[in-house]
Amino acid sequence: MTNPLLSDWQTEFQLPPFPQISDGDFAPAFEAALQAGRAAYAQIAKNPEAPTYANTIEAMEQADDLLDRVAGVFFNLAGSDSNPVREALQRDLSPKLSAYSSEIVNNKALFQRIETLWDARDTLGLDAEQERVLMLYRRMFLRAGAALEGDAATRLTDVKSRLASLGTQFTQNLLADERDWMMALDDLSGLPDFVIASARAAAQERGREGHVVTLNRSLIVPFLQFSDRRDLRQTAYEAWVARGANGGATDNRAIAAEILALRAERAALLGYETFARYKLETEMAGSPEAVRDLLMQVWAPAREKALADAAKLEAMLLADGHSGPLEPWDWRYYSEKRRHAEHDIDETALKPYLALENMIEAAFDCAHRLFGLEFRPLDVALYHPDARAWDVTRGGQHMAVFIGDYFARASKRSGAWCSTMRGQRKLGGETRPIVVNICNFAKGDPALLSYDDARTLFHEFGHALHQILSDVTHGLIAGTSVARDFVELPSQLYEHWLEVPEVLARHARHVETGEPMPADLLDRLLGAQNFDQGFATVEYVASALVDLEFHDGLPPSDPMQKQAEVLDAIGMPRAIRMRHATPHFAHVFAGDGYSSGYYSYMWSEVMDADAFEAFRETGDVFDPGMAGKLEQFILSAGGSAEAEALYTAFRGKMPGVEPLLKGRGLAA
Q: What is the DSSP letter of 478?
A: S
Out of 178, 347, 460, 605, the active site residue is 460
* Whole-angstrom distance, CA of residue 156 vs CA of residue 146: 10
Assess contact for 440 and 480: CB atoms under 8 A.
no
Assess contact for 546 and 567: CB atoms under 8 A.
yes
Q: Is 460 a catalytic residue?
A: yes
* Whole-angstrom distance, CA of residue 585 vs CA of residue 595: 10
Phi/psi for 396 (5° steps) reads: 85, -5
Strands ordered across the beta sheet of 374-378:
374-378, 388-394, 397-407, 434-441, 417-422
Helix axes 230-241, 217-226, angle to 10 degrees: 150
Assess contact for 602 and 486: CB atoms under 8 A.
no
With b meaning 16 or more CB within 10 Å and e meaning fewer, what string describes 527-552? ebeebbbbbbbbbbbbbbbbbbbbbb
- Closest CA relative to residue 572, chosen from 539, 533, 607: 539
Phi/psi for 144 (5° steps) reads: -90, 0
- Closest CA relative to residue 102, chosen from 190, 58, 161: 161
Label the pairing between strands 434-441 and 397-407: parallel
Assess contact for 634 and 490: CB atoms under 8 A.
yes
* Whole-angstrom distance, CA of residue 291 vs CA of residue 300: 15
Length of the chain measured in residues: 668
3-state secondary structure of 50: coil
Cis peptide leading into residue 325 (ω within 30°): yes
Catalytic residues: 460
